[in-house]
Amino acid sequence: MKLPPDQEAIRAKCFHPSGTFVEFSKDDVETSIPERFEKVVRINPDRIAVKIDETALTYDALNKAVNRVARLLVDRLGEHNHPIVIFSEQNLAAVIFSLAIWKSGKILVAVEPSSFLPGILSKITAAQANVILTTDDNLSLALELTKKTTSQILNIDPTVSDLADENLDLKLRSETLAEIRFSSGSTGKPKGVVRSHRVLLNTARSAINSAHICCDDRVVALTNLSFGSHTLRKGLLSGSAIYPFDIKKHGIRNLVRLLNAENITCYESVPSTFRYLVGELDGSLGFPFMRLIQLAGEPLYMSDVESYKNAFPDKCILVHRLSAGEVGNICEFFIDKDTTIGTPLVPVGYPVEGKSVVLLNDAGKQTRPNEVGEIAVRSQLLPSGYWNNSDLTEAKFRHDPATGDTVYLTGDLGKVSPNGLILHLGRKDNEVKIRGIKVELSGIDATLVGHEGIAEAVVLLTTDKDLGESLVAYIVPTHGKRPAVGELRQFLQSSLPDYMVPSKFMFLDSLPLMPSGKIDRSALPDPAGKRPEIDTPFVAPNNPTAEQLARIWAEVLALDEVGTDDNFFDLGGHSLAATRVVSRVIQQFQLEIPLQSLFESPTIANMAAVITAHQGKTLDEQGLATLLNELESLSDEEAQRLVGEQRNESSEE
C-alpha cells in the first residue's frame, strides 16, 4: 500500500550522512545467506564486521574463520541438511558458528547456556539435533546434556584450524532449510518455526532497505548472539559493523558507555530495555552519532516517544515495529521529533514491503475500520510452518494455492484506521473477560504509564475461588517515588470504566524480564494472601466489633490482616466482595442496618460506627432472612452502582 506523505517524508530522512547506502536487491533473496554474505565481504573486506570488547574482525577475517569451521563441519558430517545446535554464550564463536553452519548447508538451532536446563533439553530433543557445537567455555555443561540426549559434541576453537580458509562454494538453493527458531521452551512443549534461506534473506532485505542500513552504520546487538538474531542478520548482510553486547552480564550503564565510545548509529531493543537506557542519561543529551532507534516486542507508550524526543539528537529517527518470531517484521511506524500521536499506545504503522496485513474477527471475516480483530499476515515469503508439528502448523499457517501466498495468524489483536494505520492491542490470549465484558489488558497498561509517577506497568487477571476475577497492576514508580494508590485509582477512573480499574496495586523496583528482554509475566509476584501496599498505615483493630469486622474482611478478601483505617477498595475489594462482606456482617451482628449504609462504609472504623449506631435494632429470624434475601437479590449491576456511588463520594472527598 502507498504510505501517507508524513511517513514517506520521515523515511526519506532516515539515511546515514555518508550516503553509502546500497539497496538490497530482490535477486539476492533468491540466492543463499552464504552467497549474500560473501558478496558483502568482496565489497567491504577491510571494514570491521564484528567487535566484542577489544576483539574485532574485519569482514575478510570473519569470512576466513567461518570457512575453516564450515570445512570442518563438512569433513565430519558431510553435506546433509540436518540440524546442528549452537551451544555458546553471546560471543564471537556464536557468530562464526552460525555462518559456518549455513556455509556447510546445515540447519541452525540456537541454544543459550544460560537458559533453563529443561528448556535446553526440550529444544534439542524437539529439533532432533544429533550434533552440539560448542567451545571450551561451555564444554562441561554440554557434556551434561549428552547424558540425557543422543547428540554428539563438536568442541571447536573457531580461531584455530589447519583447514583452508577459501570459500566452500557449495551450491545452496534459496529454499534450503536454514534455521529452526524455538520459543523459550521453559514451560510446556517448545515450538520451532522452520525458515529457509529465502525467508531469512527477505526478512533482512526488508529491514535493511526500510532503514537504509549501510556499511558506515555501527549496530549494537543486544539479543541472542546466535546468527538467528534479526539484528545480526541485517548488520552482517548490509556491510555494517556489529557490536554484540550481553546486557545481562554487563548492565545498562556499560551499554551507555559502549554506545558513546563506539559511536553507535543504530540501536534496537524492546521498549522496557530502552526505558532503562534513558533512565541512565539523567536528562542530558546523549549519543550524538545515533541516527536510528528501533523498538519492538512490547507496547510503546507516549512517554517513550517523549523520552526519545528529549534525549536523542534531532536527526535521530524512532521506529516502532510489530514483529513475530515466526515471520519477522510485520509493520513499521517511523517517528521524528515533529511527529504527534493522539493515542496512549503508539501505532505499529503500516505493513512492510512484501507483506500485507488483514484483521480477522472471531468468525474469520475481515473487520471493518476501527474494529478489533486478530492480525494476520499474508505473503509469498513466509515460513511453511512449525518443525514436526503439523497440528500447530495447520492452526497458525494457512496456504492459498490460488495466489501462492501463506497467511499466518499472529495471535495479536489490533485495529486499523481507514487510511491503513494499524494499532496493536496486545496478545489475543491477553484479552480477558471481566463480568462478561472483553478487556484488552494492554489498554490499561497504556493508561497507567500515562501517569507521571509511573515508569512501567503491567496488568494481570487473577482468579480466586471466593473473590472471583480481579485485576492486579504491577507498577515501577518513576525515580522510585511511589504514587498514592488513591491517586492512581482516581486517575484511572477519569478515563476507564469501573470494571477496568485494577483491584490491587503492587509496587516493584523493576519488572521481571525474560532473556529476550520482554516482561516475564509468569515471574510477577502472587498478590494473594498479604495486605497490599496502600497509602494508609496499618492500625490494628482496638475493640471487639472492629476485630470481628476485620476478621470478616480478611476472610472475604483472602488477606492475612486488615487495618481499621484501610479502604475496602484499596485492599482489592470490588462489588461482589462488598456484597459478601455486607451479608457476613448482617449474619454476624443480626442488626437491622440499611444496606446502603454498609455499602457506604469503606473502612472498618466506618462500618463499626454504623453497627454501634444500630445496636438497639436487633433483627428476629424472619427480619434477618428478609434482609439477607434483599441483599442476595441485588443484581451485579445494582451492587456495582452502590459501590460506584461510594467510590465517587470518596474520590470527591
Residues 42 and 156 in one domain: yes
Query: Which of the pair, 18 or 533, is modelled with greater confidence?
Result: 18
Q: Which pLDDT score, from 0 to 100, does residue 186 have? A: 34
Mean pLDDT across the stretch 175-203?
A: 80
**Which pLDDT score, from 0 to 100, does residue 631 have?**
56
Predicted pLDDT of residue 188: 46
Indicate whether this model's pTM tops 0.85.
Answer: no
Helix (H, G, I), strand (E, B) or coil at 8: helix
Between residues 227 and 308, the one the model is more confident about: 308
Whether the pLDDT of residue 589 is over 90: the answer is no
Handedness of CA 382, 384, 389, 395 (dihedral sign): positive
Query: Confidence class of residue 101 from pLDDT cuts 50, 70 and 90?
Result: very high
Q: Which of 237-246, 280-289, 643-652 comes out lowest in average pLDDT?
A: 643-652
**Is 649 a residue whose pLDDT tops 80?**
no
State which of 201, 235, 250 marks the end of a domain: 201
DSSP collapsed to 3 states, 297-321: CCCCEHHHHHHHHHHCCCCCEEEEE
Q: Is it the case that residue 466 has pLDDT exceeding 60?
A: no
**Residue 223 reports pLDDT greater than 70:** no
- Give a yes or no: residue 16 inside a domain: no
- The confidence band for 349, taking pLDDT boundaries of 50, 70 and 90, is very high
pLDDT of 214 reads: 97
The answer to whether residue 46 scores a pLDDT higher than 50 is: yes
Domain with residue 69: its CATH number is 3.40.50.980
Query: Do residue 623 and residue 476 come from a single domain?
Result: no
Cβ 191 vs Cβ 169: under 8 Å: no
Which of 388, 300, 309 has the alpha carbon at shortest distance from 348?
300
pLDDT score at 653:
45
The pLDDT score that the predictor gives to residue 512 is: 87
Is residue 500 domain-shared with residue 593, that is, in the same domain?
no
User: How many domains, in total, are found in the chain?
Assistant: 3
Check which CATH number belongs to the domain holding 575 and give it: 1.10.1200.10
pLDDT at position 20: 96
Phi/psi-derived region of residue 18, left when phi > 0, alpha when psi is between -120 and 50, beta in every other case? alpha
Q: Who's near 501: CB < 8 A, 6+ residues apart?
A: 471, 489, 492, 493
The residues near 220 (Cβ < 8 Å, ≥ 6 apart) are 231, 243, 244, 245, 255, 258, 259, 262, 264, 266, 267, 268
Say what the pLDDT of residue 516 is.
65
Residues 516 and 548 both lie in one domain: no
Judgement on whether residues 502 and 572 belong to the same structural domain of the protein: no
Asked whether residue 366 is domain-assigned, the answer is no
Q: Are residues 511 and 603 in the same domain?
A: no
Q: How far apart are CA 645 and CA 181, in angstroms?
A: 53
Based on the fold, state whether residues 613 and 498 are members of the same structural domain: no
> Is the sign of the CA dihedral 302, 307, 312, 313 positive or negative?
positive
Q: How confident is the model at residue 401 (pLDDT cuts 50, 70, 90)?
A: confident
Residue 508 grid cell: 516493584
**Which domain-ending residue is among 172, 201, 230?**
201
Helix (H) or strand (E) holding 399: strand 397-400
Provide the pLDDT for residue 640. 55
Same-domain check for residues 34 and 183 = yes
Average pLDDT over residues 219-223: 84
Q: Which of 44-53, 191-200, 331-340, 458-467 has the lowest mean pLDDT?
A: 458-467
Q: Encode 131-147 in three state secondary structure.
A: EEEECHHHHHHHHHHHC
In a domain, 280, yes or no: no
Same-domain status, 519 and 548: no
**CA 354 – CA 404 distance, rounded (Å):** 13
Same domain, yes or no: 571 and 472: no
Average pLDDT over residues 382-389: 89
pLDDT of 648 over the 60 cut: no
Q: Please say if the pLDDT value at position 407 is more than 80.
A: yes
C-alpha cell of 510?
A: 523493576
CATH number at residue 513: 3.30.300.30
What does the pLDDT read at residue 226? 42
Mean pLDDT of the chain: 84
- Amino acid 137: pLDDT: 84
Region 291-299: mean pLDDT is: 90
State the average pLDDT over residues 421-429.
85
Alpha-carbon distance of 16 to 290, in angstroms, equals 10
Residue % of the chain over a pLDDT of 90: 38
Residue 499: how many other CB atoms lie within 10 Å: 16
CA distance 34 to 624: 82
**Considering the domain boundaries, does residue 66 fall inside one?**
yes
In a domain, 561, yes or no: yes
Flag whether pLDDT at 571 surpasses 90: no
pLDDT for residue 169 is more than 70: yes
Give the per-residue pLDDT at 18.
96
Mean pLDDT of the region 285-300: 87
Q: What is the mean pLDDT of residues 237-265?
A: 89
Rounded CA Rg of the chain? 29
Are 565 and 604 in contact, with CB atoms under 8 Å apart?
yes
> Do residue 122 and residue 72 come from a single domain?
yes
Instruction: Say if residue 477 is in the same domain as residue 575.
Output: no
The tens digit of pLDDT for each residue in 208-218 reads 999 999 999 99
Cα–Cα distances (Å) from 276 to 256, 309, 400, 460, in that order, read 10, 16, 44, 22
Q: Burial code of 34-69, b = ≥16 C-beta within 10 A, e = fewer?
A: bbbbbebbeebeebbbbbbeeeebbbbbbbbbbbbb
Domain final position from 156, 184, 201: 201
Domain interval for residue 459: 435-523
Is the pLDDT at 592 greater than 80? The verdict is: no
What is the reported pLDDT for 436?
A: 54
pLDDT for 83 beyond 90:
yes
Residue 276 domain flag: no
Q: Quick one: pLDDT band at residue 228, thresholds 50, 70, 90? A: very low
Q: Give residue 622's pLDDT.
A: 67
> Does some domain include residue 409?
no
* 528 belongs to a structural domain: no
